[in-house]
Amino acid sequence: MATRASAGVTARASAVSQAASGESFSLFWLVSGSMERDEAQALSRKVLGHAIERQAMQAGRSLPFAARCALATRPDLGLMCCFDPAAQWAWPRDLEGAAARHVLIRPAEGRVVIEQGGKRIGLKAREAAVVSLRHETLFSLAQVSRVDLIMLDETRLPMIGAAQGVGLMQPIPRLNRGLQVLAHYGALLMRGLLPLHSAALQDLAIGHVHDLVGAALADRSPPAPLPPGDRRSGRLMAIKADIEARLHRRDLGIDMIAGLHGISPRAIQKLFEREARTFSDYVLERRLERACHRLLASEARELTISAIAFEVGFGDLSYFNRSFRKRFGRSPSQVRAAAEPAAV
């Protein structure tokens, strides 16, 4: 990648050594000179529900896909989300003698055409592909606002370094089982919802990501057709997963989820009616449960109750307090106080 990515193998190969340092896990924005501070903070609140550290790009450098900003992690887990990418971009080939690098590319929406060494493939929304960076790679993007990247370590995933590279430059369908799990696991990592505050946990996360990429590459067959009842259950599970990944967004609503799945809001309501509840009931329940988890978490002790409420998608603190007490029988402050370590 350019910047962290164009540092060659360093960014990816050093992920384990960085993790071994015990550096506390955190998210931060890499921001190009074309993005103002207020705009970056607004995007941070839209994506994460709260503002995080912002780091300006060094002069003369650019992000992958000439994106205006990218969400990254410290220590580097090899994951990056690039926002507002250019319509055309060329990823330069690695220097001769450099260690082999590979990257998984996944557009959040729209379409991406990838050209490398005379081969051309197209990716639709939420499909993915693994490409080698031994050769210059050309990307054409249409109606794409975000591209997700995973820099891969060949030592953790030998299959991509084998002769002809298993699965390289081949579309991975969005319904691929491994890719679906990878997408949700990556979303949890890139929203800071997994407390990776030890070197061992950070190293495990890197290993999990590579294992899931391997599973996605190994399973080239589409999911087998399911009976109608199983299809409904599978669709509801997918809808719940998309809700989970967007709980922090205050604009989360049934129309948004219906658009993601290409079905009507009424069809979604019918799925939830099978569980004797509504879409709104489910969203409220999950937000309250996530808020309760945050109130009990030691790493969130410095956050105010209002900050936690806004972080999980509530826009009205009074409504949050009323709903929380109704759900758990105690106020948020009482739950937090009960979790405080006893004074010695």
| Confidence (pLDDT) at 95 | 63
Say what the pLDDT of residue 47 is: 77
Q: Is the pLDDT of residue 100 over 80?
A: no
Domains 9-218 and 225-344 alike in fold? no
CATH of domain 225-344: 1.10.10.60
What confidence score (pLDDT) does residue 8 get? 37
pLDDT for residue 20:
44
User: What is the structure's pLDDT at 165?
Assistant: 65
Interstrand relation of 69-74 and 53-56 (parallel, antiparallel or unpaired): unpaired
pLDDT score recorded for residue 293: 87
Going 291 to 296 to 302 to 306, the CA torsion angle's sign is positive
Residue 57: predicted pLDDT: 75
E strand or H helix at 278: none
Between CA 313 and CA 139 the distance in angstroms is 35
As to burial, measured by CB atoms within 10 angstroms (0-12 exposed, 13-18 middle, 19+ buried), residue 219 is middle
pLDDT above 70 coverage of the chain, percent: 84
Q: Stretch 102-117: mean pLDDT, rounded?
A: 92
Domain 9-218 has CATH 2.60.120.1440: no
Confidence of residue 166 (pLDDT cuts 50, 70, 90): low
Mean pLDDT for 109-125 is 91
Least confident of 35-44, 50-59, 157-166: 157-166
pLDDT tens digits for 295-323? 888 777 888 999 999 989 999 999 999 99
Instruction: Report the pLDDT value the prediction gives residue 229, as an integer from 0 to 100.
Output: 53
Chain mean pLDDT for the chain: 83
Predicted confidence at residue 158, as pLDDT, reads: 87
pLDDT at 81: 93
Q: Which of 34-38, 129-133, 182-186, 195-199 has the lowest mean pLDDT?
A: 34-38
| Rounded Cα gap, residues 166 and 45, in angstroms | 39
Centre a 10 Å sphere on the Cβ of residue 72 and count the other Cβ atoms it contains.
26
Q: Where does residue 225 rank: exposed (0-12), middle (13-18), buried (19+ CB within 10 A)? A: exposed
Instruction: Kindly state the percentage of the chain with pLDDT values over 90.
Output: 42
Q: Mention every residue, 6+ apart, whose C-beta is less than 8 A from residue 107.
A: 123, 124, 125, 126, 127, 141, 144, 146, 147, 148
Residue from 230, 228, 250 nearest 238 by CA: 230
Q: What is the structure's pLDDT at 164?
A: 60
Alpha-carbon distance of 111 to 5, in angstroms, equals 22
Q: pLDDT by residue (tens digit) across 27-54?
A: 999 998 777 778 888 888 777 777 788 8
Assign 13 a pLDDT band (cuts: 50, 70, 90).
very low
For residues 238-248, give the mean pLDDT.
85
Please give the pLDDT value at position 142.
93
Q: H or E segment at 171? A: none
Domain boundaries, the chain: 9-218, 225-344
Looking at residue 246, the DSSP 8-state letter turns out to be: T
At residue 12, the pLDDT reads 39
Angle at 266 between CA 265 and CA 268, to 5 degrees: 65
